[in-house]
Structure 1
Amino acid sequence: MPNARNSEICQQTKDSIANAAVDLLLLDADLSVSLLCRQAGVSRNAFYRNFDSIEEVVGYYLRSRWIRYASSLPDRRDLLDSPGRYLIIYIYGQRPLLRSLRQKQMLGVLEEMFLEVLGPDVGTPPSLRYHRNGMAFLIYGLVRTMIENDFTETPEEVFQLMDSVSGK
């Protein structure tokens, strides 16, 4: 049975590393594992015990903040009905970080997050896998365009585009 104290320390270490990575990305620093470890106050061993790459750290940060955001919604049934819409709102709130990721050509972590959140689960039947992957990439494409347009469109304007494409 895992030790609760060790799990808590591991979680704190991961969060410290992720927060330091975002702080450095927002400062426009040339991010390296050594610089990140200094900023987070952890050893390189602690970094590599928890992550394989800086991109994985950023993905962890985005996913953990998404989970926190989704958990804070007053009525999570809406989230189940329209996860893509809520993901777009969440992403819009992460504009400074995403601008930095675009500049550093690290937006691949965002694509992975979209597939994880919106894509098919392991047990998804093959016929639904196409639908789930298609929706994940459609919404990712809209968000990617938002990022490339430097967020000139609000989430509401993107929702209108989504509705016009789907015929609503």
Structure 2
Amino acid sequence: MPHTTSRAPDPRPARTKAAIFAAARDLTGQDGEVTVNALAKRAGISRAAFYSHFGGLDDLMGAMLGQMFDVQEARAVELAADGRSTQDMVQAAAATMVAYVVRHHAFLRGALDWKFSHHTYLILVETLSDLHVVALERIGDEVPAHLDIERTARFFAGGTLDLLIQWLVATEQDAREGREPDEQGLTEDLLRLMPSWYTGLRPEDPIPDDLVMDELFAEGPLPEA
């Protein structure tokens, strides 16, 4: 019988992606203009190599922000394993998103100036809406009967993203001057703006301070491959 051995995966695509991600972080952090040409030059690759991985800046930004949703999912899995309620998961998802934004303030604020299309924002809204649909369906009869679940989910998603974007802009100077952002305050703003039947929080309830698991962010600021 002929002996066959499995070949190890080619590491070059992962290295190229990592170089592109690093170039995007560097250019954004230095207030440099982020274009495909600039990214390719900084990453030490050709434009063709860039386009072999990403269709453009829209695709690149989507890939870099994908980790935020991955972290949210990991936290939800933990809570589900502990038998926690859907409202607990909603609270944790909001806090985890805020934690991600706070930890990557410089990159995300700079990325608002990238020359990508509105399509990226719409993809983010769609992805976040899908997560809200899952939560709303799990809540079931607690959702007011007059509300359409998909429209409600899109409203929550769009409002959340706009709140975070405005916060990034408003706190830009504080971040440049090294002042610590108010992560708990932003989490509270986000959760208080959503209805109590969804978050499980009454107006008089304090916001739990154990919603975020720091180890979920231990792998680094942004995906490396």
Q: TM-score range by the shorter chain?
A: 0.7 to 0.9
Q: Please report how far the alpha carbon of residue 120 of structure 1 lies from its aligned counterpart in structure 2 after TM superposition.
A: 1.7
Residue 150 (structure 1) shift? 1.7
CA RMSD of aligned residues (A): 3.5
User: Would the aligned equivalents of 1:21 and 1:58 in 2 still touch at CA under 8 Å?
Assistant: no
Give the ranges of 4+ consecutive aligned residues of structure 1 lying more than 6 Å apart after TM superposition.
Answer: none
Question: Which ranges of structure 2 fall in alignment gaps of 5 or more residues?
Answer: 1-6, 138-147, 175-180, 197-201, 203-225
> Higher mean Cα deviation, 11-20 or 39-48?
11-20
Mapping 1:61-140, distance limit 5 Å:
61-64=64-67, 66=68, 69-70=71-72, 76-77=78-79, 81-82=89-90, 83-104=93-114, 109=120, 112-116=123-127, 118-120=128-130, 127-140=148-161
AA at the equivalent of 1:62: L
- Name the structure 1 match of 2:9: 5
Deviation at 1:12, TM superposition (A): 2.8
Once the two structures are TM-superposed, the CA of residue 4 in structure 1 deviates from its matched residue by 6.0
Matched, 1:60 2:63: yes
Alignment-mate amino acid for residue 167 of structure 2: M
2:182 to 140, 144, 154: 154
Deviation at 1:103, TM superposition (A): 4.2
**Distance in 2 (alpha carbons) for counterparts of 1:67 and 1:42:** 28
**In the alignment, structure 1 residue 20 sits paired with structure 2 residue 23:** yes
Q: Whole-Å Cα distance in 1 between the matches of residues 110 and 125 of structure 2?
A: 18
TM-score (norm 1): 0.74
Amino acid corresponding to residue 115 of structure 1 in structure 2: E
Of Structure 1 and Structure 2, the greater helix share is in 1
Deviations 1:34-57 (A, max 9, x none): 221121122211111111212321
SS at match of 2:52: helix
Task: Write the letter of the residue equivalent to 1:19.
Answer: A
Q: Which amino acid aligns with 2:183?
A: P
The letter for the 1-side match of 2:189 is L
Q: 1:163 to 1:74 in 2, by over 3 A?
A: closer
- If the length of structure 2 is used for normalisation, what is the TM-score? 0.57
Q: 1:68: Cα distance to partner?
A: 6.3
Q: 1:4 to 1:54 in 2, by over 3 A?
A: farther
- In structure 2, the CA distance between the partners of 1:57 and 1:15, relative to structure 1 (3 Å rule), is same
Deviations along 1:8-28, one digit per CA (max 9) or x if unpaired, are 432332222122112111111
Q: CA deviation at 1:58?
A: 2.6
Say if 1:57 and 1:163 are closer, same or farther in 2 by CA, change over 3 A. Answer: closer
Structure 1 regions of 5+ residues with no counterpart? none
1:60-103 C-alpha deviation (Å, 9 max, x unpaired): 12223x26645776973279703222111111111101221234
Which whole-Å CA distance do the structure 1 matches of 2:76 and 2:151 have between them?
31
Aligned CA distance change for structure 1 residues 98 and 49 (closer, same or farther; 3 Å): same
- 2: CA distance, partners of 1:74 / 1:162: 18
